[in-house]
Amino acid sequence: MVKKIIKRELIAFCKYWLLLIAVIVLFCCISCEAKTEHKVHDDKILVDTNIKGNPELSKAAKSIVDGSIIYDGSYYKINYPMGDVNEKIGVCTDVVIRAYRKLGIDLQELIIKDMLSNPEHYKEKANKNISHRRVPNMMNFFDKYADKKIKGMNNKYYSPGDLVTWRIGINNHIGIVVDKIGPSGNYMVVHNIGAGQNMDDCLFNWNVTGHWSYDGPNLFDKDKIEPKR
């Protein structure tokens, strides 16, 4: 009788330790997978943050800061290429267009040509007077031709001359990161959200929906654009 009790307790003891060992092994496997996934994520961040910014675009953006610009996204008939609305008015996309023109890059022509060549990538037909001034069209263009970067809420992921889009309520917004640090400790942004072409400390004021670095082509090789996707 005593032998049977001892045998039963020994079996129970062995089962307990086998179960404990199994739990420990399972925990170790899960931990290893989590570390591997985190390492891959870290590597991705490392690769993306190595994409250079565009210091010249940062400089160009700061040169067009003007708080007197009246916010006006109305439809106007303008020239093509190199067309622009009156210099005293504009919206957020006009900030980007005007800054790039300082570098010899005409986003109006580039975006319109891409919309005509690849209409399936856009939700509207190309209109040389307005299509390039709409944030969704600009986002589609940069998704194809610019270097995509991390959209994290950390200043280390951003560089002067980067392009950033945000979602503000039901509206899209775009601006240019510049090489000046604001009171928040983050890079400042040149944009127009309704009070002129200003430089504000607002990089993480809203949900970031897009982040790119784009440095060409200029007016002399604009026919050589190659999609990055």
What CATH number does residue 175 fall under? 3.90.1720.10
Asked if residue 229 is part of any domain, the answer here is no
pLDDT at residue 47 is higher than 60: no
Q: What is the pLDDT of residue 63?
A: 98
φ, ψ for residue 127, nearest 5 deg: -135, 110
Residues 27 and 64 in one domain: no
The pLDDT of residue 52 is 77
Q: Are strands 70-71 and 89-90 parallel, antiparallel or unpaired?
A: parallel
Q: Which domain holds residue 31?
A: 1-50
**Would you give the DSSP letter of residue 69?**
P
Residues 164 and 72 grouped into a single domain: yes
Domain count, the chain: 2
Q: Provide the pLDDT for residue 221.
A: 55
Lowest mean pLDDT among 94-98, 166-170, 222-226: 222-226
Partnered with residue 70 across adjacent β-strands are: 89
Q: Each residue of 161-194: b (16+ CB within 10 Å) or e?
A: bbbbbbeeeeebbbbbbbeeebeeebbbbbbbbe
110 and 216 assigned to the same domain: yes
What count of other Cβ atoms lies within 10 Å of the Cβ of residue 160?
21
Mean of pLDDT values over 86-113: 97
How far apart are the C-alpha atoms of 7 and 13, rounded to whole Å? 10
200 with 187: CB under 8 angstroms?
A: no
Do 108 and 210 share a domain, yes or no? Answer: yes
Query: In which residue are the tokens 């570098």 written?
Result: 103
99, 190 in Cβ contact below 8 A? yes
- Place 37 in a pLDDT band, splitting at 50, 70 and 90: very low
Do 21 and 90 sit in the same domain of this protein? no
What percent of the chain stands above pLDDT 90?
A: 71
Q: Computed over its alpha carbons, how large is the radius of gyration of the chain? A: 27
